[in-house]
Amino acid sequence: MATLNLYSSGSIQSQFCDNLLKTLPSNFEVCLFTNSGAEANDLALQLARRYTGCDGVAVLENAFHGAVKSVIEISPAALQRQNLAIMPWVHVLPYPDTYRSPSSPSKVSESEIVDTCFHEAKSILDKARKNGAKIGCFVSETILVIQGVIVPPRNWLSKIYSYIRQIGGLVIADEIQTGMGRCGSHFWGFQSQGVIPDIITIGKPIGNGYPIAAVVTSRSIAQSIQNLHEEYLCCSVAAAVGKSVLDVLHEEKLMMNAEKMGHRLREGLHILKHRHRWIGDVRGIGMITGLEIVWCKEEKRPAPEVTEKICYRLREEHILAENGGVYGNVVIFVPPLCLSVEDVTKILDILNKIFCELEVSESEELYQLLGSQSESNESSSQEYRWQENLEGVIAGGSSYYSLD
């Protein structure tokens, strides 16, 4: 760090920018750097407003884009948590959750869900515009990780993007969780959705732990604020970190690994879903996976308490997952892109063990309830049988979903 900070000539910054731009379509020409994803979203908002001259921002229900004031204002999830009112210039749009949609795909097609959701969004925007709102931009993740890993159905994002542009707004893609190869099939989440935004914001993985984030956009949008380049340069240490991250992603073929290991993880989770009653849905893309935990598969009633227990037990086993989603009932896995086959097997083994424990402890609770009602003297032998059952299920478990 000392060497880079003192002696760097600036070429490391331009190498980093060039390499980053090479991963993007040609409309992305300028990189502006910040220290956090929230600051990147703040800058993206400033740019969109200045470029369009319009203040209104369209966002998705339950979205989160960071924890600085301007960005909390466009983060319904944060506003709700902090009990804050939504600003009149923020317009909150629905998104298509094909698992929870009242018209789920078992009854209607995915394209009908997309159409219904899009028309709802369009009428919210039309009503707002009739009341004088001027929409400067639409901000969203391209895979809705915060909402519980919702992979948008085909065409939904492209419909929203084109309508926003039609009414004079810009489109900002928050790629803070989804970018940098995590989607596996594509380097950026927006590419997996077949859309091209006007501005993207990049955070967390761009520095692999080092505090750096970026806004990337066209020259004309960047020029809407004067001298922006000088204010949003990155220091040479940050540039060296960012350049190395891109090099390692490329050299170690981590994007391909994200695709393969993510697929493998979800295949295993689908098998667990058939074995354990708690798993309502398994979904994701690349190395972003959501496991929706419910009390009952038919009713889909969210089970946030169970989800918290699962994440806590995973942590005890040294596996980090987040209990997120709108109801706090989605186990979200966004592991490092270098995950190995052995890691995936370990995650599946441990999850299987945890689900078996949950089933046994639930049965024990029920048994105790029944036991307290009828004074049975069989209790110790029954308890022994539950224990035996647990060990049996766990022992049979790993071979059941072995993928080799």
Ligand X SMILES: Cc1ncc(COP(=O)(O)O)c(C=O)c1O
24, 49, 66, 77: which one contacts ligand X (CB under 6 A)? 66
Compute the Cα dihedral for 298, 301, 304, 305 and give only its sign: negative
Q: Which stretch binds ligand X (CB under 6 A): 59-67, 269-277, 306-314, 320-328?
A: 59-67
* Pick 204 or 243: Cβ nearer ligand X: 204
17, 28, 30, 36: which one contacts ligand X (CB under 6 A)? 36
Q: Which stretch binds ligand X (CB under 6 A): 62-70, 271-279, 359-367, 380-388?
A: 62-70
Q: Look at phi and psi of residue 300 and say left if phi exceeds 0, alpha if psi is from -120 to 50, else beta.
A: left
174 binds ligand X (CB under 6 A): yes
d(C-alpha 103, C-alpha 90), whole Å = 27
d(C-alpha 56, C-alpha 45), whole Å = 10
Compute the Cα dihedral for 242, 38, 152, 292 and give only its sign: positive
Provide the β-strand partners of residue 3: none
* Pick 68 or 319: Cβ nearer ligand X: 68
* Pick 142 or 345: Cβ nearer ligand X: 142
180 binds ligand X (CB under 6 A): no
Q: Which stretch binds ligand X (CB under 6 A): 88-96, 161-169, 172-180, 392-400?
A: 172-180
62, 142, 177, 236: which one contacts ligand X (CB under 6 A)? 177
* Pick 176 or 269: Cβ nearer ligand X: 176
* Pick 176 or 265: Cβ nearer ligand X: 176
Compute the Cα dihedral for 296, 298, 299, 301 and give only its sign: positive
Question: For the chain, how many residues are written?
Answer: 404
38 binds ligand X (CB under 6 A): yes
CB of 131 to ligand X, least distance (A): 29
Q: How many CB atoms lie within 10 A of CB 301?
A: 12
Burial 306-318 (b: 16+ CB within 10 A, else e): bbebbbebbeeee
Amino acid identity, position 355: F
* Pick 47 or 306: Cβ nearer ligand X: 47
203 binds ligand X (CB under 6 A): yes
Q: Which two tokens stand for residue 318?
A: 């040294």
Strand order from edge to edge, sheet including 135-141? 30-34, 213-217, 199-202, 170-174, 135-141, 56-60, 90-93
176 binds ligand X (CB under 6 A): yes
Instruction: Give the per-residue contact string, 139-168, with ligand X (x = CB under 6 A; - = no).
Output: --x----x----------------------
Interface residues with ligand X (CB under 6 A) are 36-38, 41, 64-66, 141, 146, 174, 176-177, 203-204, 213
